[in-house]
Amino acid sequence: MIVMSKDTMEIVREQDVVPFRNRVREFCTRIGMSLVNQTKLITAASELVRNMLKYANGGEVLLEIVSQNAKTGVRLTFTDQGPGISDIALAMRDGFSTGRSLGLGLPGTKRLVNEFDLKSQPGQGTTVTVIHWKHGR
């Protein structure tokens, strides 16, 4: 996979969510992603960034434009130093939440994007990587 351009953004408070979403939109339009796919990725990004703020008090996001087998897409890597997730399978289940929310953030995000990867160690933070291709597949 080739990385064509990248940028990082720090997320520390709720006010950072909107500028961050605009940043993701900017990356999407740069590769000419359609509106539906843009909205999917932005919504997924918004879920993950809210999780980061809520459970880990913020973190850092790496935005990249990647290319693989003549496909281009946007890759987002969310890294935080929060408490981590002890049971990933449970966290990925629809309707499960430790924070009294709908419990759709993680499983919903996985359905919204093309590639989804979650790594977490309790006490050592969480890293979520998502990729969405230009044509949504």
Partner 1 sequence: MNTTAQVLEKNRNRILELWMQNQLSEASLRDDLMTSEELQRQSQDMLDALLRAISKENYGNIYAQEFEQVTDTLRDISITRARQGFSPRETGAYVLSLKKALSEILVEERAEDPTTLYKELIAINNLLDNLSIVTFETFIKGREEVILRQTDEISEISTPVIRVWDGILALPIIGTLDSARTQIVMENLLQEIVNTGSNIAILDISGVPAVDSLVAQHLIKTVSATRLMGAECIISGIRAEIAQTIVHLGIDLSNIKTKASLASALQLAFSMTNLEVRRSEKKLGLNFSR
**Selected binder of partner 1 within 58, 83, 84, 107 (CB under 8 A):** 107
Q: Does residue 9 belong to the site contacting partner 1 (CB under 8 A)?
A: no
DSSP element (H, E) containing 3: strand 2-11
Residue 70 C-beta: closest distance to partner 1, Å:
25
Q: Where are the alpha helices (DSSP H) in 31-104?
A: 35-56, 88-91
Give helix 105-112 / helix 35-56 axis angle, nearest 10°.
150
- Find out whether 93 and 118 touch, Cβ atoms under 8 Å: no
- Tell me the HSE value of 134 on the side-chain side, using a 13 A CA sphere: 15
- Find out whether 116 and 28 touch, Cβ atoms under 8 Å: no
Q: Does residue 12 belong to the site contacting partner 1 (CB under 8 A)?
A: no
Q: Does residue 134 belong to the site contacting partner 1 (CB under 8 A)?
A: no
Q: Does residue 58 belong to the site contacting partner 1 (CB under 8 A)?
A: no
Q: x/- string (CB under 8 A) for partner 1, residues 17-56?
A: xx--x-------------xx-xxx-xx--xx--x------
Where does this chain bind partner 1 (CB under 8 A)?
Answer: 14, 17-18, 21, 35-36, 38-40, 42-43, 46-47, 50, 94, 101-102, 104-105, 107-109, 111-112
